[in-house]
Amino acid sequence: MATCAACNSTILFGGKRDANGRFCNQKCQVRGALLAAANQIPETAIREQVWQIHQGLCPKCGGAGPVDVYVTHKVWSALFLTSWKSTPEVSCRPCGRKSQWMGVASSAVLGWWGFPWGLVFTPVQIGRNLAAIARSADASSPSPQLEKVVRITLAGQMAQQQSPSKGIAAPAK
């Protein structure tokens, strides 16, 4: 099975393909283009920003770090419709675990109600959250996921600075 070059999720059907790889949707395709542009940013700038975020305050609660990327997995279902997603968030470990526990609770309540995929994906998403909660984090160094987030953010900032302003001109008097 194929995986998305931007978010690493599994692509079951379809997806989008371009020179930067295969992506699960349009949003990830844009992130892939930003990742390609991020390869032009000097490694020292990336590393400096990654360490600054890793050792900084949590953007969710304002508490002390280390800060990293934590992924929460959720599923919900209704009869013959099932939707599942994995959402990465930059936060401290307690905030990350809290989100993962909320993912477990949400999936346990809302995931089972679809046939057949709700019955299949609910235990998968709950298991993924429980495995992430149980996994011990290496607080001494940032994860590759944090580096990827920083690369995308810096590339987006560069693209914004390079594009001309699209403001509305004031009428002439």
Mean pLDDT throughout 2-8? 81
Neighbours of 37 (CB within 10 A): 18
Give residue 170's pLDDT: 41
- Under 8 Å between Cβ of 126 and 108: yes
- Answer whether residue 165 shows pLDDT above 80: no
Burial class of residue 8 in the structure, from the number of CB atoms within 10 Å of its CB (0-12 exposed, 13-18 middle, 19+ buried):
middle
Mean pLDDT, the chain, rounded, equals 87
Q: The tokens 């993912």 sit on which residue?
A: 103
Where residue 13 falls (left for φ over 0; alpha for ψ -120 to 50; beta otherwise) is: beta
**0.85 exceeded by pTM:** no
Going from N- to C-terminal start, the domains of the chain cover 1-40, 57-158
pLDDT of 105-162, one tens digit each?
999 999 999 999 999 999 999 999 999 999 877 788 899 999 988 988 888 888 788 7
